[in-house]
């Protein structure tokens, strides 16, 4: 007999004591982790203690019968797959149990091999469903930028910190302005950690009012408040074994901060309306665009929570402080956007000069949106100044005047911009050519064509 998938938790429910004992021993010997119950009430108590991967339920039970128990289990533990096992096998019973949400229906007597095979298939289905839900959640987040892009010293210093966190399971605090890529940094920390095979669950603390955010984080019991018609598992519980990313933690209230602190200190929490402690193993990564230390001084953020989340912290620099990454990012967004429509799109030199000089208050996110907009409106394959938003077009004249003292020609603008890039990149033509989206040979021709007395040659 082949070995079952490791760590499959099975709840076996049958009122026949001898049959229940024999099956429990046989399934345990086969490698399953088995909990047993003789009636519906004790089965629901076991399910309360720990959610099972698969439940094997007898149809004829004292009190609440098997069909009612299946319906109740589907409501309380929707991710548990249920197999009905009964000696009263009729087509009507089979149809009814499947309608109530059972995975399969097996009649007594059955072979142990048959039962084990169905349990393994049910557990595999549960795993695939959970994985599919997670992937759908990730795709829905529209997270196309999956890696850091750029070569600036400021960015490299951040990546060095991320690399040092590889062997750590510490809580991390990421600070920085809106749009700098704090969620991207959190995903990078998770992806390089020992928890990378588990999910990272993202919570936007600004998107929900306090009561809803509390229910989202910690879950609630049925009847905990008006509208709580079923038990809800919170994100702390769902992230068990993985990472929970609390984006903009500075926005949550003091009472909610206390509940988060309890999870960090004890690894336990209670659902809203619950009385039982739930133990979880979750790594917490937090992010904020606010000055938490100043908030602590004003009494707006708990001091103990601040020091608890700031075990390891780093700040992502705004885009205006790593301008050398602007051309790299702009070309990256242009080449990876679905709006490109299989075109080879490039930026005119004067356009890149405007992008390079702009302060980007919205940071990387704003740059991505500007490039996306330009691609949507673009008719040809070259992005010009006219393809930029009005606020950037209005800055174009001042930018050009900064680059040249006299009324500029297009060649002057191109030459001045190439000069600036060569200066920023220490004269490395390969890097400058890659940023401009041209070959080194084309760059050399442009350098040669430029007015030699006015150009500092770099080799």
- Tell me what the mean pLDDT of segment 162-184 comes to: 90
Give domain limits for the chain.
9-137, 153-317, 320-454
* Mean residue pLDDT across the chain: 83
- Tell me what the mean pLDDT of segment 69-82 comes to: 84
Its CATH class, for the domain covering 320-454, is mainly alpha
pLDDT band at 145 (very low <50, low <70, confident <90, very high): very low
State the pLDDT at residue 141: 40
State the pLDDT at residue 408: 53
- Contacts for 389 with CB less than 8 Å, ≥ 6 apart: 370, 373
Q: Which CATH architecture has domain 9-137?
A: 3-Layer(aba) Sandwich (3.40)
Residue 195 in contact with residue 242, Cβ under 8 Å? yes
Residue 293 in contact with residue 250, Cβ under 8 Å? no
- Contacts for 115 with CB less than 8 Å, ≥ 6 apart: 23, 27, 56, 83, 85, 106
Residue 9 in contact with residue 52, Cβ under 8 Å? yes
- Token pair, residue 59, equals 């149809």
Q: Among residues 414, 418, 415, 416, which one has the least CA distance to residue 429?
A: 418
Distance separating alpha carbons of residues 251 and 213, to the nearest angstrom: 11
State the pLDDT at residue 402: 55
Least confident of 44-58, 244-258, 369-383, 420-434: 420-434
pLDDT band at 421 (very low <50, low <70, confident <90, very high): confident
Distance separating alpha carbons of residues 369 and 337, to the nearest angstrom: 11
- Token pair, residue 353, equals 């000069």
State the pLDDT at residue 228: 81
Residue 119 in contact with residue 54, Cβ under 8 Å? yes
pLDDT band at 399 (very low <50, low <70, confident <90, very high): low
Residue 393 to residues 37, 52, 348, 349, 399: CA-CA distances in angstroms?
A: 72, 60, 14, 14, 10
Q: Among residues 264, 283, 289, 267, which one has the least CA distance to residue 190?
A: 283
Distance separating alpha carbons of residues 63 and 44, to the nearest angstrom: 13
State the pLDDT at residue 2: 43
Within this chain, domains 9-137 and 153-317 share the same CATH topology: yes
Buried b (16+ CB within 10 A) or exposed e, 290-326: eebeebbeeeebbeebbebbeebebbbbbbeebbbbb
- Under CATH, domain 153-317 is a member of which superfamily? P-loop containing nucleotide triphosphate hydrolases (3.40.50.300)
Residue 22 or 456, more confident? 22
- Token pair, residue 458, equals 């770099």
Model pLDDT for residues 260-318, shown as the tens digit of each residue = 999 999 999 999 998 888 999 999 999 999 999 999 999 999 999 999 999 999 999 99
Least confident of 98-102, 209-213, 281-285, 388-392: 98-102
Distance separating alpha carbons of residues 24 and 39, to the nearest angstrom: 15
Residue 394 to residues 147, 371, 385, 414: CA-CA distances in angstroms?
A: 32, 17, 10, 19
Model pLDDT for residues 207-250, shown as the tens digit of each residue = 888 888 999 999 998 888 888 888 888 999 999 999 999 999 99
């Amino acid at each position: 007999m082949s070995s079952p998938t490791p760590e499959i938790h099975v709840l076996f429910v049958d009122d026949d004591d001898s049959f229940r004992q024999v099956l429990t021993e046989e399934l345990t010997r086969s490698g399953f982790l088995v909990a047993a119950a003789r009636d519906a009430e004790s089965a629901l108590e076991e399910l309360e203690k720990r959610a099972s991967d698969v439940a094997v339920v007898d149809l004829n039970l004292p009190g609440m019968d098997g069909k009612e128990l299946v319906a109740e289990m589907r409501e309380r533990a929707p991710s548990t797959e249920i197999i009905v096992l009964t000696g009263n096998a009729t087509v009507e019973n089979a149809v009814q149990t499947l309608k109530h949400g059972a995975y399969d229906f097996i009649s007594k007597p059955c072979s142990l091999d048959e039962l084990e095979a169905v349990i393994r298939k049910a557990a595999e289905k549960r795993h695939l469903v959970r994985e599919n839900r997670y992937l759908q959640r990730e795709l829905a987040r529209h997270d196309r930028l999956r890696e850091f892009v750029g070569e600036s010293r400021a960015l490299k210093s951040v990546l060095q910190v991320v690399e040092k966190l590889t062997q750590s399971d510490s809580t991390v605090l990421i600070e920085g302005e809106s749009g700098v890529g704090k969620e991207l940094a959190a995903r990078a920390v998770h992806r390089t950690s020992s928890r990378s095979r588990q999910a990272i669950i993202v919570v936007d603390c600004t998107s929900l009012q306090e009561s809803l955010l509390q229910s989202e984080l910690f879950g609630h019991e049925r009847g905990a408040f008006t509208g709580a018609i079923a038990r809800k598992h919170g994100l702390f519980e769902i992230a068990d074994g993985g990472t929970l990313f609390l984006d903009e933690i500075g926005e949550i209230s003091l009472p909610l901060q206390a509940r988060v602190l309890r999870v960090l200190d004890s690894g336990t929490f209670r659902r809203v309306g619950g009385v039982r402690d739930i133990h979880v193993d979750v790594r917490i990564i937090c992010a904020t665009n606010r000055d938490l230390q100043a908030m602590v001084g004003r009494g707006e953020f708990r001091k103990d929570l601040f020091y608890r989340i700031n075990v390891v912290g780093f700040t992502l620099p705004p885009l205006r402080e790593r301008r050398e990454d602007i051309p790299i990012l702009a070309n990256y967004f242009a080449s990876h956007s679905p709006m490109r429509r299989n075109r080879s799109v490039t930026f005119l030199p004067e356009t890149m000069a405007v992008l390079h000089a702009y302060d980007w208050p919205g940071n990387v996110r704003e740059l991505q949106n500007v490039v996306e907009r330009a691609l949507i409106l673009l008719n040809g394959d070259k992005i010009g100044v006219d393809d930029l938003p009005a606020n950037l077009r209005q800055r174009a004249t001042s930018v050009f005047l900064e680059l040249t003292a006299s009324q500029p020609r297009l060649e002057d603008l191109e030459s001045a911009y190439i000069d600036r890039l060569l200066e920023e990149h220490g004269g490395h033509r390969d890097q400058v050519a890659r940023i401009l989206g041209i070959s080194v040979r084309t760059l050399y021709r442009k350098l040669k064509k430029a007015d030699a007395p006015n150009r500092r040659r770099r080799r």
